[in-house]
Structure 1
Amino acid sequence: MSATDQVIFDFRFLALLAVGGSLAGSLLCFLDGCVYIIDAYKIYWNSCLKGVLSGKMVLRLVEAIDVYLAGTVMLIFAMGLYGLFISNAADNLAPADDRALKGSSLFGMFALRERPRWMKISSLDELKTKVGHVIVMILLVKMFEKSKMVTISTGLDLLSYSVCIFLSSASLYILHNLHKDDHK
């Protein structure tokens, strides 16, 4: 390998910037989701004390799901980039030989026996597909969040709302069936 080839090949380590940034963003998203959950509890207990229940608590929980999904996208993206550009682990590596699995437990409680299928990313197309699935889920959660604010006053409003739910469900069904072979 020539010196130019080596320099160009070593530029793959720039992906570590994206990995680090995505992991930091993922952490922030997960912490922000916890703030939404705490806020939902505050709203619930305050409304119980007042005797008036509102939909604000559910809205906070949906916002938490949305932020958790965004954090999950960033986590999948970071792990995928790391696996594609930095890590040199073989796809058919036995779980007993996988160094990442040996230290991947939280105080020894949640040890992985093998890498989850979603972590086995072998191409950029596969990474884009996995991230795309989670982004579609985020869009559906956002649609649900916005639908809580919609007032249905006419038959056309109800029809539009029904079509929106149908199209959302159909998009999930189609996405699932497009990559059914990938899950096997």
Structure 2
Amino acid sequence: MRLLEIIFENFLWKSRLLVLIAVVMSLFASLLLFLAGVYEIIYPVIKLVDTGDYEIFQRKILASVISSLDLFLIATFLIIFSLGLYELFISKIDPAERDQRSSRILIVRNLEDLKMKLGKIVIMVLSVYFFKQALFFNFTQSIDFLFFGLGLVSIALALYLSHREHLEEKEHKHH
């Protein structure tokens, strides 16, 4: 009976390696999103060179830059997600621990740490998406302005609360 328990527990422990599938696929998706972000910026330039129509370029470039920001932020989210999953379930990333220049955002200590880091990126993605939608929104009624203002206040509040928590963490570490 003890042998069966040992075999099962070894199998159970090694099953955590399934997380590698999520790590690799998230990194692959991140690469694809970075490439899509680059394409978003280059496409209007190609159109300008091809057609010579500067008006189309002017209208398209701002939307393209904002779209690429969204793609880059989501790609960054996926990288942090991959690193966090790997560190939590597989192994610490030794080069990250040794690198004095590396950003602390890439080091994940526990699941709560990963959730906080990813949550902040989600707030940024939503902020950029809101900005993109606001650029092309057709304000027809005064209530539209009210809802737009409420949206801005909500985003500002979310950014403030996430930043305040970061400041409280810093203050707590100094004491």
Report the TM range for the smaller structure's normalisation. 0.7 to 0.9
Which residue in 2 is equivalent to 1:19? Answer: 23
1:118 and 2:105 correspond:
yes
Whether 1:162 aligns to 2:124 is: no
Contact 1:44 1:57 in 2 (8 A): no
Cα gap change, 1:66 to 1:19, in 2 (>3 Å): same
Q: CA deviation at 1:162?
A: 2.0
The C-alpha deviation readout for 1:32-59, integer Å capped at 9, x for no partner, is: 1010010132356678x44536432100
1:52 maps to which of 40, 55, 63? 55
Q: What is the aligned-residue identity percentage? A: 28
Is this contact kept in 2: 1:40–1:58, CA < 8 A?
Answer: no
Do residues 3 (structure 1) and 7 (structure 2) align?
A: yes
The residue correspondences of 1:55-66 to structure 2 (distance < 5 A) are: 55-66=59-70
**Can you give the 5+ residue segments of structure 1 that lack an aligned partner in the other structure?**
90-97, 103-111
Q: Which segments of 5 or more consecutive residues in structure 2 lack a partner in the other structure?
A: none
Pair 1:136–1:11, CA change in 2 (3 A): same
Structure 2 CA distance for aligned equivalents of residues 81 and 23 of structure 1: 11
- Count residues with an aligned counterpart: 166
1:43–1:56 Cα contact (<8 Å) kept: no
Instruction: Please tell me the residue identity of whatever aligns with 1:67.
Output: L
Aligned match of 2:35: 31
Which is richer in helix?
2
What displacement does 1:2 show? 2.6
Mean Cα deviation higher: 162-171 or 70-79: 162-171
Counterpart amino acid of 2:110? S
The residue type paired with residue 116 of structure 1 is S
Contact 1:22–1:78 (CA under 8 A) maintained in structure 2: yes
Q: Relative to structure 1, is the Cα distance of residues 140 and 34 closer, same or farther in structure 2, using a 3 angstrom cutoff?
A: same
